Structure 1
Amino acid sequence: MSSPPAVDVREARGAHAPPKPRREITTAFLVSRIAVLAVAAALLLYALPPLVAARSWPAVVILCAATAAIAYLYLTRRFVPAKYLIPGTVFLIAFQVFPVLYTVSTAFTNFGDGHRGDKRAAITAIESGSVRQAPGSPEYSLTAALKGEALVFLLVDPATKQVQAGDAAGLTPVPGAQVGVTGKVLRAPGYTVLTAPQAAARGQDVTALSVPTPGGLIKANGLSRAVEGRATLVYDARCDCVQGEGDRWAADEGQGYFVNAKGQHLAQGWQVNVGLSNFARVVTDPTISRYFAGVFGWNVVFALASVGTTFALGMAVALALHHPRMRGTKAYRIALILPYAMPSFAMLLVWRDMFNRDFGLINQLFGVDVDWMGQPSTARFAVVLVNLWLGFPYMFLVTTGALQAIPRELTEAASIDGATPWNGFRRVTLPLLLVALTPLLISSFAFNFNNFNAIALTSEGGPFPAESPQVGATDLLITYTFRLAFGTGGAQFGFAAAISVFIFAIVAIISAVTFRRTRRQEEVYA
């Protein structure tokens, strides 16, 4: 008996295998791919010329490599998951990870007014700021101009009438320049002469520009005159110090200042790493540590009161409109979300005027004479009330959505079993609502813990006691530290970043504890 003919298994499988589905190229797919490639190309064309001009070759290599990788990723049919994950990852790093890391790194520096640049920039600012006109030094007619995008001085020598261009590199002759009868340069080949309004708009740049000369520096004296002078403070690299005016300031790398023997320092410094000093200042500085605990306590009360009141009112309104016998719910819902739709800053300013003691609507409406923002208790009640009005529409919206997801059979079964409406709400509806809304309540707590606008635009942190004008009764940590870091003493970004890290840690700990306690409830009702 002959054996059956051999059959190739691969051919048999191929005969019965379903055909591979063809990938459908939709319009949305093409538009998204073109959009990503267009953005990448635009960033390359925008960032490449300045990087090449600055000779920042590592950045050029990274930019070109990233653009090539994006082009390869979106021009090939492979790596489909990466096409969706990489844009989200890039945005996550750019808008979440990088700001957090930058804030933390800034907290360990003295970055702020007087410490914005490096040591070389500080030396230049010190020498330029100490320039004084020397006796007999020439005075030039000044015309502000641009060479490309850079600001330059077009200087007319009063003796020779020659025109020279001055910038940070020095003086350069300008042949063919046309000078008017007033001494102003009208035209200059290769330069764009600025009009008086244009020069006035760049007044700070004009004042900051210094043109080095063999005898000193040329500085602007207004917008039409420039004088040559000498720096009274000069940096000496041999001793790493600044000398002049009968004194000597040595560089202190720990503070980022030039300090003399008396402990006095020059106004201009440079950015240095100060370690944990910004964090230690919160504990050791009596003007901060003395009030930190009180402000923190009120901060917690304000956040909890804001979340509790807005959730209670929003849930009550949502329950009322969710009742099956309720009519006209659409009109009510539109009216109730109006506070949420209005610009919050404008509403906060309106509420501040409503609480005014002299002409406020609340005092006139109720016929009382209450200084709402002048007493700690009334001011705190007022800011919580304003935040309740602004915040309850959000809670109303999310609670309405959560209620619609709860089957009515559960509440009907509870009523059939003899449960009263209150017991049905407390035993069935509320636990299910909390399971769905607990993450939103925690995020609302974190938001209100740092609700700067609610305080700054209504009470401005006040009222302030006479013995402590720096901290008010309604100050939150964020408004208190904002006043300390950006008050009359100038901007202290490093200190503000350290306080931000403190606030982040506090909110993170409270949120983590709350999530851990509510997880058990989620497991019970899952």
Structure 2
Amino acid sequence: MSRTSAPALVLKWGGIALAMALVFWIATRMSAQGMWLGVSTVAFVGLCILAVYATRRAVPMKYLLPGFLCLLALQIWPIIFTIMVSFTNYGDGHLGTKDEAVKQIVANSVQVVPGSTRYKASVAVKEGTDPATGALSLLLTDPQGKSFVGDANGLTDLTGADVEKSALGKITKAEGYTVLTGKQANARSKDLGQLAVPSKDGSGIKMQGLSAAYEGRATITYDAASDTLTDTKSKLTYKPQDSKYVATDGSGQSFSQGWQENVGTKNYATIFSDSTMRSGFLKMFVWNVVFAAGTVISTFILGMLIALLFNSPNLKGKAVYRTLLILPYAIPVFVTALLWRGMFNQDYGLINTLTGLDVDWLGNGFWAKVAILITNLWLGFPYMFLLCTGALQSIPSDVKEAAKIDGAGSFQTLTRITMPLLMVAVGPLLIASYGFNFNNFTLIYLLTEGGPFEGGSAGMGSTDLLVTYAYRLAFSGAAPNFGLASAVAVVIFALVAIQALPGFRATKSLEEVQ
């Protein structure tokens, strides 16, 4: 067995050391967040890397492991996580635990009282997180000069930590935190207004402006024995109901903070049992199938016809024509979609101007669907043209010559020889194209945003695909619902899989022509 050169050994062990350092860094981050399952998973991955790359054995795994890890991280885990979320009420107002919700409700009721402790305050996020979206923390200095950090979970003493302060006592630097600038903190003013740091004996700390904070008394108290919240001002009592605290006087008044919990199959039941959502879901599914199938069929037919035309040996300048034809495919989708959106404008669009029509392409449900199919035909036919061109050029010429000798005409050669061989090559790609267009979020969102919304209910637009509706559930509206959106995503996954299976079987049967 040949010896490994010194540079190769250095590169090998350097790569292993770098991978182990990354594993250790991720594991420490996860452990700080209490994500012990994640720590175990990362540790297992680290052991696999050592077992595979630190020895001369398991040579095939040296090539397979990176792909397997990417498959696990980018495909399998997102699917598992989506399924897990679909069985919860995870969404706006239901992001944390019940204990966190209680603490937040009590802390948010804090009001300044005579003798309240005042703090010099800085706004910060944990180091490595985005200042625009990361969880906020308050870096506090009390009148005695002691330093603290506070967040929604409570107050932590910073004594002994690496902390720098300004001449006025305001913390300007703290180990493990990134201090926000005045502009960044001002941009998060809404989040700051909702942040209250639980302290002691029902007290809480809230910001006052951008550089000061006060410790006041909470007007809402929590009784752990009866699991109730009481508003000391209004004397209302709140009890848990549907993952949030609701007033017991029958008014339906509740706190916006709730908690995440398992709801079983409630999200799936909502999709199929709620009459409004069920009817809208069925319409979306039908349009989804029409859109995906119509796109694949139309783009394939046009692309195939052009490929057959350019496959003629008598046609000159084929290279130039082919280059021009793939330009729509080369231009980014968001550019093309926005251009077509402008051309479909009812008043000033190029299409109505040239044809003399007065069609409300994007304001009418039917014509908006037609506009989407036209746009996707323009975007998709170059791809099919490339596929068919490659497949046609791979068909041996002697097969066609043999058919010609046997007396087959051009049409018979096309239907009996060319098309079957062509379908063997492009069949699986047509199925993949169908799956892609079934979830073609980009085109729908850029061209119509799922609209028009013609008096529809549950936020369902005339051109919404299931995926755009799931996006709207998760990220739009007054109360985003990640749990319901995840359930819709799981249903989409199942529908695509069910529709793909017959296609793969049909493709397999086509292989017999070879």
Q: Does the alignment reach a TM-score above 0.5?
A: yes
Does the Cα contact within 8 Å between 1:107 and 1:497 map onto a contact in 2?
A: yes
Query: Does 1:236 pair with 2:207?
Result: no
For 2:16, the equivalent position in structure 1 comes to: 37
Q: Provide the identity percentage.
A: 42
| Shift of residue 502, structure 1, vs aligned partner | 1.1
Query: Which residue of 177, 196, 206 maps to 2:182?
Result: 196
| Shift of residue 68, structure 1, vs aligned partner | 4.2
- 1:78 to 1:468, Cα distance in 2 relative to 1, 3 A: closer
Q: Which runs of 5+ in 2 are unaligned?
A: 128-135
Q: Which amino acid aligns with 1:492?
A: N
SS, match of residue 363 in structure 2: coil
Structure-2 separation of matches of 1:60 and 1:471:
41
Query: Does 1:106 pair with 2:85?
Result: yes
- 1:55 to 1:444, Cα distance in 2 relative to 1, 3 A: closer
For 1:350, the equivalent position in structure 2 comes to: 339
Query: Does 1:260 pair with 2:247?
Result: yes
1:113-152 mapped onto 2 (5 Å cutoff): 113-134=92-113, 136-138=114-116, 140=118, 142-144=120-122, 149=127, 151-152=137-138
- 1:416 to 1:187, Cα distance in 2 relative to 1, 3 A: closer
1:374-408 CA-to-partner distances (Å, cap 9, x unmatched) read: 23332211100100111111111111111121111
Structure of greater Rg: 1
- 1:56 to 1:474, Cα distance in 2 relative to 1, 3 A: closer
Structure-2 separation of matches of 1:343 and 1:93:
29
CA RMSD of aligned residues (A): 3.3
SS, match of residue 266 in structure 1: strand
1:508-519 mapped onto 2 (5 Å cutoff): 508-519=497-508
For 2:53, the equivalent position in structure 1 comes to: 74
1:306-345 mapped onto 2 (5 Å cutoff): 306-345=295-334
Q: Which amino acid aligns with 1:41?
A: M
1:439-468 CA-to-partner distances (Å, cap 9, x unmatched) read: 111111111111112211112222332364
Structure-2 separation of matches of 1:490 and 1:212:
29
Structure 1 window deviating more from structure 2 (221-230 vs 401-410): it is 221-230
1:15-414 mapped onto 2 (5 Å cutoff): 22=1, 33=12, 36-50=15-29, 63-64=42-43, 66-134=45-113, 136-138=114-116, 140=118, 142-144=120-122, 149=127, 151-155=137-141, 157=143, 162-168=144-150, 169-170=154-155, 185=170, 195-197=181-183, 199-200=185-186, 203=189, 206-207=192-193, 208-210=195-197, 212-214=199-201, 216-244=203-231, 245-252=234-241, 255-261=242-248, 262=250, 263-414=252-403
Query: Which residue of 421, 434, 443 maps to 2:410?
Result: 421
Q: Which runs of 5+ in 1 are unaligned?
A: 1-21
Structure 1 window deviating more from structure 2 (428-437 vs 320-329): it is 320-329
- 1:23 to 1:315, Cα distance in 2 relative to 1, 3 A: farther
| Shift of residue 280, structure 1, vs aligned partner | 0.5
Q: Which amino acid aligns with 1:224?
A: S
| Shift of residue 102, structure 1, vs aligned partner | 0.9
Q: Figure out how many residues of one structure are paired with residues of the other and give that number.
A: 495
Query: Which residue of 447, 454, 460 maps to 1:471?
Result: 460
1:482-501 CA-to-partner distances (Å, cap 9, x unmatched) read: 33444323211110111111
